[in-house]
Structure 1
Amino acid sequence: LREFGIGRHRMVDDTPSGGGAGMVLRADVLANAIDSVSPAGDNRPKLLMSPRGRPLTQEFVRELSQGPGAVIVCGRFEG
């Protein structure tokens, strides 16, 4: 991810906007990195997990498994 980082220090993460422990990966950096390795016409869903998003249920995962695959990223980390 570092090659897609922002600024002189190639930052790929930032503090959570709502506060709290840990860091979050920058969505713009992730999008650029994923797009760079995705073939043209790639129609796989790209999911960036968020505390405000809908839950990732077994039913939804089963739906995803019937398709061409998916890219799932959890951008928040601690430690």
Structure 2
Amino acid sequence: MHSPALTVKQKNFEQLCNDHIEKLVVFDLGSHPDKVGKLVGIENDQIELINAKGKNISMNMNHVKAFQVPE
């Protein structure tokens, strides 16, 4: 069970991601090539990306440590 504070942080992070749908994003400082790509969406705590090779990537948003949107 999630604590109330964690739930609020998750919702804020989800809202932040939703503001950047269809944009290039970098998760966890690009530590892995599959953590850089076009943000497709978030559903059920799963982040959906398309990487530079066109591969669909899914990651659990609870495992993300950092989030950037290059200008």
- Does TM, normalized by the shorter one, top 0.5? no
Counting helix residues as a fraction of each chain, which structure ranks higher? 2
Give the TM-score band, short-chain normalised: under 0.3
- The structure in which a higher percent of residues are strand is 2
Structure with bigger RCO (C-alpha 8 Å, 6+ apart) = 1
